[in-house]
Amino acid sequence: MLRFLGWMLLAILLLAAGAMIYVRVAPLDPDSWHVDPVTAPTPATPNSFRVLAPGATPGPEEMVSPVYAVPPAELMQAFDRMALAQPRTERLAGTADGQGYVTYVQRTALVAYPDYVSVRAVPVGEGQSALVILSRSRFGKSDLGVNRARVAQWLEALDVPKA
């Protein structure tokens, strides 16, 4: 009986180690994760957070963006600098020229789970803009508030004057 339990424990440990290795080496597929946050559907699982353009009515896992006193291209460049300065963060796809959107990947510290953050700056007035953001986890059903906390921290770290 003890021998059987030992083999079961070994099998469980090997499965857990394999899952952790897969999370670290799974390919980052831009075709699947680089999405326009303005038009992308909300994920079916509760492991995402969205920032909407001003004028929208936010749902439970959403908030409305502040308005910034800079045009979209300048806001995107500032956001790009700030995002890439965050730990374990890289640009997956897109450019920060203000004409499109960018998707970043930030990995968790311990297991290196990838979370994807797609961002677009949109004009909201003469020389003003706002951010539309979709932050979501790749693995798991719940993110325990990580995406909401990340977005709040990134918006706080963004050094751009508000309108």
Question: What tens digit of pLDDT does each residue of 91-126 get?
Answer: 999 999 877 899 999 998 887 889 999 999 999 989
- Single pTM value for the model: 0.87
Question: What pairing do the DSSP bridges indicate for beta strands 114-125 and 101-107?
Answer: antiparallel
Calpha distance 63→79 (Å, rounded): 18
The confidence score (pLDDT) of residue 93 equals 96
For the domain 29-157, what is the CATH code?
3.30.310.80
With b for 16 or more beta-carbon neighbours within 10 A and e for fewer, the 71-107 pattern comes to: bbebbbbbbbebbeeeeebeebbbebebeebbbbbbb
